[in-house]
Structure 1
Amino acid sequence: MIRQIAKKLVKRYWSYEYHTMLNGTAGKILRNIESIKGKTDPKLIKLSNEYANDVFGWKGYAPWLSVYSAVSGSFKEGWIPDNYYGRIVVPTLKGDYGRVANLKSFNNKIFKRDVFPDLVYYANGLFFSTDYEVIPPEKIKEIVFKKSNRIVFKSDNSAQGRGISFFEKSSFDVNKVKMLGNGVIQDYIRQHAFFNELMPNSVATMRFTTTIDDGGNSVVRACYLRIGRNADTHVKSDSHIMIPINLRTGNLYEHGFTPKWTTTDRHPDTGILFENKSIPNFTKCLSTALELHKLMPQARCIGWDMIVDENNDVKIMEWNGNHNGIKFSEATQGPCFSDLHWETLWKKQRSLID
């Protein structure tokens, strides 16, 4: 009995910490938006509070609804708060399966597609090919630099631009890779000229969010482009520019967003306007995301980070099966999931709510 009580107290503590952290982020974002747009209409804040309490069972889900309202200038029924998604939807519709995405060496085991730029995996002291044949360390340099003089290493559990290292052929040391821990060596992608025009210093990424419904159908729910800044070697969450993409046309929205969620109509470094820009080979991007998710239906919502390369081929840089972010898509393109009835899931997870 004492052990059960202790477990419940620990669970409540971590739940409190989680909500405090995410709602604190929502508060900062709302203040950033209001510093430019002015105070959010009190009616929208009131609707957010009432909707959170009535639909999700707790007023603590209101802060993200207020952010969405401030971005869109209106309130929309069907939005999913970011902390509700992470605390209720993720454990209910993914469980442990979504965490597989954090283990890079499972990419080819699950998907068996050449859309990943994976060259060699490293796990628990062994290097092995995408066919899972062990490779002696002394042969790694020869294998990974066959096509390019530059490669990328991504550590397991890397996220938001962290855990990424670049290696040049001239200075490559296999022991330095070992020191980074388990992960994947990927070919360095040469992005399509469209993305180079926006920012040539780093490879952009497009985030496609897909779901699997109860009938087993995969559906693309949202999409946006992430572009790095002049000083970045790769896209980072603390500096990137995010531009929503129209799912019907593949066109960029007129305005993008900074990490502080303030808007801009052009890239702050290159000065390139976003309006009237259309993603190359967009139809193939959509179909690739849909096809891949059917191979991993256990995780009911996945974020795919992809790009179109210089040969007009679609490349998947990584997939996010655990807490893939939905907040930006909900605010700019949502509600994205209103037909899935996620708002009812909390009734099955009452013990997770403060």
Structure 2
Amino acid sequence: MGGLTIIKHVRVFDGESIHGPKTAVIEGSRIGNDALADDPDPSAVEVVDGSGCTLLPGLIDCHVHILDEAQLAACASYGVTTVCDMACVPLEKYVKLRAAKGPTTWLSSSLPAYEENSRHGMLFKLARVTPDHAVHNTEEAAKFVQDRVDEEVDYIKIIADFPGHEQAVLDRIQVEAKKHGKMTVAHTAQYHSFERGVQADFDILTHVPSDKALDNDIIGKMVSQKTVAVPTLTMMQVMADSWVLWLVSWILPSFGRRNFQASLDSVTMMRDAGVPIVAGTDANNSGIFSIVPGKSLHHELELLVRAGLTPLEALRSATSLAAQHFNLPDRGRISPGLRADLALVEGNPDEDIAATARILKVWSNGEEATIPAQNQRASLGSCAVM
């Protein structure tokens, strides 16, 4: 028998519901069958007492902007073993992160589709992205998608805010992405951009408006089109609390003021209507709205619960639902044969979602990840290596 890790007396969230206390098994890089825990060779086994703890699938953050390989690796220490990057420039950085070997899997869109004279267009100019990378018309939309496919991106990202692309350009990007079998993710941080994203039938809309709550008409279309939402409530809260944006909106009323309650209300309505909601934070190192990758996902789960999700629904949003909607069939659940991305936490996160932050151990692809002292609980309590 090969080396095993056996976690005993642990409550297990399998991606859907809670089971146990029971025994869970890691066999190499995969989740093993529980029967492997019967009479194992003690010389080839590590046993962990999971009393008082819950075992979760490795968490997935569906909206991040990773700075470098070190920051990517650090995500695992917070139990986040997969991240979905929503804009990575320049190309050299994309190539480097794509090749990174570490405990956190990195997915990316590379460069998103943006309009040169939009707000994001100005930001990309500051980042020294030349205007020839922007999408100006429907013909360039086809080339943009082909370029991203050539880079082997995991999905196509589009900035749908207005002022920005004409609706015809957004519609064309969706058509071209489908030709190549690529999923689409659209930035929709305003009510009007959400409307545009729904009209284009993008697969996933990331951010939820803070200028105006969504209405039944938009949410009804999302349900009928099976649109998925990544609300990024962490970012919407940071922006609503920003004195910089408040000052800009006071000087330029057309800029609009942020109302975090509108964002919460939109999530409540989407949840009640049955729109799939997956967790994402918009973690970044902008220096203006900086959000720590990995750590911030736990706050996002708390905000989703505040918006009306049950703790179990919030857990699914960062595990099984995230894996399902980002086409990751090998993770997000605890089942024999799947990738052994796991997080052991103290307490019952199905009752108190804040327990997800009480990280004790993390495994990525079966290998135990390093957890710096400042990230780990001061005491392991009743969870200990035997």
TM-score (norm 2): 0.25
